[in-house]
């Protein structure tokens, strides 16, 4: 079944249709959250809150074809809200995060390198390359100008290239 049909059914109160929508887009939700947040537990919390918010406001979707963009916007907002809240909290102890690369699938070949980028570059790269959004769609999701999306993509690619080259150089020195 398509998003359009499931959105219409979900707007009429069909919980199974809403569940299908979330299952269909769960990997995208994870990748977007992971592009902003680093810890898997934070990603899970952001996704859970996003699901609740999207369920409560599913009737606000005006164009069913843009459901995925609408959902990703909720995920992005939730992630940024979590970052704001975390800045206000002083951690009592440092807990090292355990990363589960296998959850992300084959698209995370550059996972470690991507995590070294600033979040504003990382999220644009994730949306563009992994989620296949156009520059215009990213502009709408992140509520920034298209020119800003393009410049962040270019800067992010340059920085990612630098990181990859630096890592290869370090590996070469270690083996030599």
Q: Delimit the domains of the chain by residue range.
A: 1-88, 106-176
**The pLDDT value given to residue 163:** 84
Q: Which pLDDT value is given to residue 89?
A: 52
pTM of the complete model: 0.71
Mean pLDDT of the chain: 84
Check residue 100 and give its pLDDT: 40
Contact between residue 88 and residue 48 where contact means Cβ atoms under 8 Å apart: no
Question: Which of 7-16, 26-35, 55-64, 91-100 shows the lowest per-residue confidence on average (mean pLDDT)?
Answer: 91-100
Helix, strand, or coil here: 65? helix
Q: Is the pLDDT of residue 6 over 50?
A: yes
CATH number 1.10.3720.10 given to 106-176: no
pLDDT for residue 73: 95
CA angle, 100 then 105 then 107, to 5°: 115
Report pLDDT for 11.
95
Distance of alpha carbon 25 from alpha carbon 136, whole angstroms: 20
Q: Which two tokens stand for residue 85?
A: 């809240």
How does pLDDT run across 135-170, given as a tens digit for each residue?
A: 999 999 999 999 999 999 999 999 988 888 877 777
> Model confidence over 99-127: pLDDT tens digits?
443 344 444 467 778 888 898 999 999 89
User: Does 7 have pLDDT greater than 80?
Assistant: yes
- Residue pLDDT, tens place only, 21-38: 999 999 999 999 998 988
φ/ψ region of 143 (left if φ > 0, alpha if ψ in -120 to 50, else beta) reads: left
CATH dotted code for 1-88: 1.10.1740.10
For residue 101, what is the DSSP state?
H
Report the alpha-carbon distance of residue 24 to residue 74 in Å, rounded.
16
């Amino acid at each position: 079944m398509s998003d359009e049909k499931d959105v219409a059914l979900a707007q009429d109160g069909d919980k199974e249709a809403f569940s299908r929508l979330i299952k269909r887009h769960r990997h995208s939700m994870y990748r977007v959250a992971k592009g902003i947040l680093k810890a898997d537990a934070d990603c899970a919390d952001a996704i859970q809150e996003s699901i609740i918010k999207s369920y409560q406001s599913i009737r606000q979707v005006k164009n069913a074809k843009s459901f995925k963009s609408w959902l990703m916007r909720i995920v992005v907002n939730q992630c940024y809200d979590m970052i704001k809240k975390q800045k206000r909290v002083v951690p009592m102890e440092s807990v090292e995060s355990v990363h589960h690369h296998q959850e992300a699938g084959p698209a995370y070949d550059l996972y470690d390198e991507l995590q070294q980028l600033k979040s504003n570059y990382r999220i644009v790269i994730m949306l563009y390359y992994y989620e296949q959004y156009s520059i215009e769609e990213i502009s709408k999701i992140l509520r920034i100008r298209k020119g800003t999306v393009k410049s962040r993509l270019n800067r992010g690619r340059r920085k990612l290239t630098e990181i990859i080259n630096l890592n290869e150089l370090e590996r070469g020195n270690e083996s030599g």
